[in-house]
Chain A
Amino acid sequence: MKGPRRLAPLVLTSLALAGACGLLWAAAGEESVQLKDAPGRDLTTGRCIICHSLEYIPSNAPAMNRAAWQKTIQKMKDRFGAPLTDEEATQILDYLDGSYSGKS
């Protein structure tokens, strides 16, 4: 089924907030998942939770390194339409690589 066709940036922000506050029923409880405290956490949280809860990040860490996170962020931006500037993408990459790169 087709999703909404047009969303203003303001709406996107509210969606992100709605995700965190539990507008969608499935969000209930997901606020229990928190990312590690390091620079870039709030930006990462805010962008990622627009579409998905945060478990994907720690659960994928053992499969990830900087190159893999770079590829994933690029996919989220290019394929899934994540609203990210290049600068934000770099900040998120630094955060994820620093806190969740577990691949040896």
Chain B
Amino acid sequence: MVTRRELLLGTAGGWLLERAWAGEATDTLTALPGKKPLIRRAFRPPNFETPLADLAPPFTRNDTFFVRYHLPVIPRVDPATWRLQIAGASAQRPLTMSLRELRGGFEHVAVAAVNQCAGNRRGLFTPRVPGVQWGNGAMGNALWRGVRLRDVLHRAGVAPDAAEVVFDGADSPILPATPDFLKSLPVERALDENTLIAFEMNGQPLPHWNGAPARLVVPGWVGTYWVKHLTEIRVEPKAFDGFWMKAAYRVPTGAFPGSRFTSQENAETTPVTELMVNSLITSHVSGAQLRRGERAELAGKAWDSGAGIEGVEVSADRGQSWRDATLQRDLGRFAWREFRFALDASRAGPVEMAVRARSRSGAKQPDKLTPNPSGYHDNIVQTVSLEVV
């Protein structure tokens, strides 16, 4: 099967179309077992993006939630035999537990939170940068239920010299020389009350493709830290030096606001950490037509790293003036917040709508992209070009 997108790539004119990225019209939809058809960025390792329409509900359904893996060997973990090991040089009482012991041994808590890939929207970067060419859908919002990582770590005893906590999942490489996917967090973030080991997503057991039977949930931080199919947690007195910390998921030091991961920082680069304030129009895409005189509403989502959304503004005059959109129900400070705005469809002709979210931290979406080699943190003001006919 050759898709239109691939056909376009074969022609000289195709490059232009590819760069213009005319919405999702040329994307290929493929269903993984247990999932609805999602935008396929790659079969293996599986990287599947949520279509825009499926980002409209307040909580992203489990069967439409995006899928992101780095390594091709992804075992189906048997919850009955699964074990989680907590060890490391700064763990005072190393221990191993079953899923039953994890579920039964600690207080259950839930948090509504956006899980967004650091590279979400990389495919929209200008100039283009290499990597999975994500559009807008390497993200979703879910209600995650599990136990606090902090409670589990305290059972194992966190020594005063602990600096980082390292996480490993059941996925693995094919070649022995390929670095396994391990991530670390600063010990303070690991001990934050909002950081969870989750075993449920939107009231259901975690789907296989989203980390069954238990995954890390780090509200406010990019998805790379949300390690799936957790198998091992190590509390360590020094900075973890694995490839996925030292060489990947990094941005130029000082280029972005947000939490610093100082034990992993050097003069040139630092780990990508918190989400930037951002928004997404889910009701319309560029090129959509409105019928003159009919009621129409612009709608979408706005989110940040956990301060919460203070407001969403809309401009119909290329940013000269801004009007407030109406914010919908607050699902929690780490969740996204829906916004709505009545469109003026009284006169025929083109309409350009720009949307800008503002965090309670004071941060606003910028107009310009901050260049960085891996294409992270695209949170620039989004504009859709509509036409009233």
- A interface residues (Cβ-Cβ under 8 A, vs B): 1-7, 12, 15, 19, 24-27, 29-30, 32-34, 36, 50-53, 55-56, 58-64, 68, 72, 79-83, 102-104
Contact = CB atoms under 8 A, between A and B. Distances in A.
Given A12-B175, A82-B175, A26 B247 contact: no
Contact of A80 (B42, B129, B130, B178): B178
Contacts of A3: 71, 73, 172-176, 178, 180
A4 B43 contact: no
Nearest to A69: B130
B1 A32 contact: yes
Range of interface residues on B (Cβ < 8 Å): 35 or more
A9 B129 CA distance: 33
Nearest to B171: A1
B42 A63 contact: no
A4 B32 CA distance: 26
A81 B172 contact: no
A32 B26 CA distance: 16
B19 interface: yes
11 contacts: A1-B168, A1-B172, A3-B73, A6-B176, A27-B44, A33-B43, A56-B132, A59-B123, A63-B130, A79-B243, A79-B247
A102 B194 CA distance: 44
B127 interface: yes
Nearest to B28: A55
Contacts of B123: 59
Contact of B43 (A1, A55, A80): A55
B175 A52 contact: no
